[in-house]
Chain A
Amino acid sequence: MKPDLSTNIGGIRMKNPVMTASGTFGYGPEYADLVDINQLGAIVVKGICLHPTKGNELPRTTEVASGLLNAIGLPGPGVDGFVREYMPFLRTYDTPVVVNIWGKTIEEYAEVAARFDSVPGIAGLEVNVSCPNIKEGSAVFGTDIKMFERVVKAIRSATRLPLIPKLAPNVSDIAEYARCAEACGADAISLINSFPSLAVNLDTRRPILANKTGGLSGPAIKPIALRLVWLAAQAVEIPVVAMGGISCARDALEFLLVGASAVAVGTASFVYPDTALRVAAGIGDFLEKEGIASLSDWVGSIKA
């Protein structure tokens, strides 16, 4: 019998537990020729703030061993541009649309959240409090518990949509942030964002990226992410969405085993665009082979 892969992430009902990770799947049309968006658990679009933004200068990315270092700097069309250019397209699919939002001030975060509240077709908001590549704001919100609390509270009071703060990995106590999000009324949490990192060029003696530092993603960060997800999942009752180097179904099953209720495929989509679909299918095959009837029976079943 086919196992039941459906899951509910803080009110977002998904047919399977596999989403796209923000920033790695564009706004959808980029991959529509290659991937059936209807088969995704949810689509999480690239970060949106109040106004159009241009992002960082080049180079914006560099490949490192088993990973990708990026400092794109969140270029985007802003709330109005996104709603006008992409929502008509996204509404044609039977897949929840989760918008990743960010701001430079608490007021901006709250305003972006409030603006999306009245937009039809949006299933939830993921809050980027931890982009490592924005000069002002963002990263500070993710690594200072008082700022984190203020921003999550402000967004919570600005929207009725399911709210998913995305946690920064570079904190000393991830459980503290997870609990804080839950206490502030978040419906779920997601983690991890890319890990702040550096790559240098020995010939020029300069950092490779124009932004100097960037965020590390890809298989290189998977064990780091797995530990943090495991710790966070033990700290809260709300669902946890896990991401960090997931490239195949077995990677995803590991995150689900340690307590994540859903996963997101990120950098791997850049390489094999259909990764999220193959991960979803592979989870189903594995559970079926193991005789597990429902995804929820596997989630958090780690023996430790």
Chain B
Amino acid sequence: MQLEQATVIAHAPIQGSYNLLQMRAPGVAARVQPGQFIHVKVPYLEECILRRPFSIFRADGESLSILYKDVGKGTRTLQYLEPGESLSILGPLGHGFPEVSAGHFPVLIAGGYGMAALYLVAQRSPVKGVAFFGGRSAQDILCVPEFEALGWKVLVTTEDGSLGQRGLVTDALDAWWAREGSAHSPELFVCGPGGMLKAAARRAEERNCPAWTSVDNNMGCGVGACLTCVLKVKDGESWTWARACREGPVFNSRDILWEELA
């Protein structure tokens, strides 16, 4: 990890309230592993003193990009950043997704902008698998062509039926599992809201399949000092805290005490 002053290369809305920010950050970009994140100090927002964590979407040579939704003060202000301007980033941080296990078939499961954390998994996996993208409506389904261009099959679900199949991402996963799951040994790579992570983890447990889940806890320092982002993980018969920013954000789904996750 390192502190780096990144320079904005390109920054534009992609659809709805989602934006793509591409920056030149050769130090950080060179070391990125799938599922890691950067911690960003939003310029021009002095009253908000903390950094904001963002999954790293892509990392190409000296540049990296994040894909974010306008969800609050930080992201709202970040939107005004223009090419040529600079921002302080800390990264790459955390433990990301492992490589796909030998003999397993990778299955990506993403809710909304959760797909951003999975792009590098798809890009670097030697086996092209299947990706399930879910969201409230068509506006929340992002970058399907980018994943298809990598040779992945993408199955879309929306809660309002405005794109793909109507329902939850786990409905589509269940249908696929019943149809084709037995022909593969699926390994799940999951990023999205808490409820979706839980639902995916439950299925992995029932079917005794490996699953890697990326949690989205509120963070403070991003490096393991402030203990804001902790979650309960199993520790023998008891439990212990793990830091989403340091031991995570990606955890083996079997380790997390899902009933305790906020």
Contacts and interface: CB of A to CB of B under 8 A. Distances in A.
B88 A31 contact: no
A219 B49 contact: yes
A33 B91 CA distance: 11
Interface of B: 1-3, 41, 46-51, 88, 90, 217-218, 220-221, 223-228, 230, 240-241, 246, 262
A30 B223 contact: yes
B223 A34 contact: yes
A270 B46 CA distance: 15
Interface of B is mostly: loop
Contacts of A218: 49
Contact of A60 (B50, B90, B227): B227
B31 to A, nearest CB: 11
11 contacts: A24-B226, A33-B2, A58-B262, A59-B228, A61-B228, A63-B49, A66-B49, A68-B220, A72-B226, A72-B227, A273-B223
Interface in A156-215: none
Contacts of B241: 54-55, 75
A72 to B, nearest CB: 5
A34 B1 contact: yes
A272 B49 contact: no
A304 interface: no
Nearest to A33: B1
Given A58-B262, A59-B218, A274 B50 contact: no
Contacts, number: 80
Given A61-B218, A61-B220, A68-B220, A272 B3 contact: yes
Interface string A34-64: 1000000000001000000011001111010
Contacts of B48: 63
A1 interface: no
B216 to A, nearest CB: 13
Given A31-B223, A270-B51, 6 more contacts: A34-B1, A55-B227, A60-B228, A63-B48, A70-B226, A273-B223
A66 B225 contact: no
Interface residues of A, number: 33
A210 to B, nearest CB: 9
Contacts of A58: 217, 230, 262
A30 B247 CA distance: 12
Contacts of A30: 221, 223-225, 246
Nearest to B223: A30
Contact of A26 (B218, B224, B230): B224
Contacts of A59: 218, 228, 262
Most chain A beta-carbon contacts within 10 A, residue among B218, B221, B224, B240:
B221
Interface in A234-277: 267-274
Interface in A1-49: 23-26, 30-31, 33-34, 46
Contacts of A61: 218, 220, 226, 228
A66 B49 CA distance: 6
B226 A273 contact: no
A92 B88 CA distance: 30
A137 interface: no
Nearest to B222: A270
Nearest to A219: B49
B225 A67 contact: no
A56 to B, nearest CB: 9
Nearest to B246: A30
Nearest to B50: A63
A270 to B, nearest CB: 4
A30 B220 CA distance: 13
| Pairs of residues from A and B, 3 with the lowest C-beta to C-beta distance, nearest first | A26-B225, A270-B221, A30-B225
A65 interface: yes
B227 A75 contact: yes
Most chain B beta-carbon contacts within 10 A, residue among A61, A68, A219, A268:
A61
Nearest to A63: B50
A200 B224 CA distance: 26
B82 to A, nearest CB: 23
Most chain A beta-carbon contacts within 10 A, residue among B41, B218, B228:
B228
A269 B49 CA distance: 11
B3 A34 contact: yes
Contacts of B220: 61, 68, 270
B53 to A, nearest CB: 12
B225 A269 contact: yes
B224 A68 contact: no
A30 B227 CA distance: 11
Contact of A67 (B3, B49, B218, B227): B49
B90 A270 contact: no
